[in-house]
Amino acid sequence: MDIDVGLQALEEEGCLTEEAVQTLRTILVTELRRAFKGRIAVSSKVKKPFPITIEADPILNGYWGRGTVMTISHQAALLGITAVQLEIPLAIRRLLMKDEALFDAFASAIYKPFDKLVAKAALPLREGWATSAELGRYLEGLGSAEEPLCALTLTQLDTNVIDSMLSDLRRADTSNVHGKTI
């Protein structure tokens, strides 16, 4: 019963150095392990209890690569936001909703690394990230307060792009993506 802590998008395309991402991972994983230590959750599939563990280097890590669909954490990383992808099994989400003390411990485990590192700007930035054409300037010209992104996006869509999007949705609706049925 793993909680996956995905930071791959931040590692690949984010504004932080590799060491900064590793520091964030270490503190976040340590805090999550402390919050869930000794806890179990009953699998909704096999109806058996399993210990809750924290996976620091998961397959579902928030990054599917370049030139493909992007998770919210991937999009956030491209904008220079320190983002984490948490994959939490349904049984654990249900447990969090029932157990207020566990929910508070979980919230604290997320807040502590943010407060210690992100809020205090204690994480060093990757050199040249902000001026990189592929990273820091990725969304340059796609929208602003004067010309919103939604208006530009609608005008940039043509029938080929829409057809491709619909095809992807049909495929996703009838198949598995990363072992998950959509």
Cα dihedral across residues 42, 94, 26, 107: positive or negative: negative
1 contacts 40 by C-beta, under 8 angstroms = yes
Please give, one letter per residue, the 3-state secondary structure of 53-93. Answer: EEECCCCCCCCCCCCCCCCHHHHHHHCCCCCCEEECCHHHH
- The residue that leads in pLDDT, 101 or 153, is 101
- Asked whether the predicted pLDDT for residue 175 surpasses 60, the reply is no
CA distance 54 to 43: 16
Residue 144: the pLDDT is: 43
CA distance 113 to 36: 16
Query: What is the DSSP pairing of strand 2-6 with strand 85-87?
Result: antiparallel
pLDDT of 31-47, one tens digit each?
999 999 999 999 988 99
13 contacts 25 by C-beta, under 8 angstroms = no
Residue 149: the pLDDT is: 44
Residue 153: the pLDDT is: 45
173, two tokens: 């609706």
* 0.85 surpassed by pTM: no
- Mean pLDDT (the chain) is 81
Band of pLDDT at residue 81, cut at 50, 70 and 90: confident
What value does the mean pLDDT take over residues 135-150?
53
Q: Pseudo-torsion of CA 17, 23, 25, 31, nearest 10°? A: -160
pLDDT above 70 covers a percentage of the chain that reads 74
Which of 60-69, 74-83, 160-169 has the lowest average pLDDT?
Answer: 160-169
CA distance 109 to 35: 7
- Asked whether the predicted pLDDT for residue 30 surpasses 90, the reply is yes
13 contacts 78 by C-beta, under 8 angstroms = yes
Residue 167 backbone phi and psi in degrees, to 5? -60, -45
54 contacts 36 by C-beta, under 8 angstroms = yes
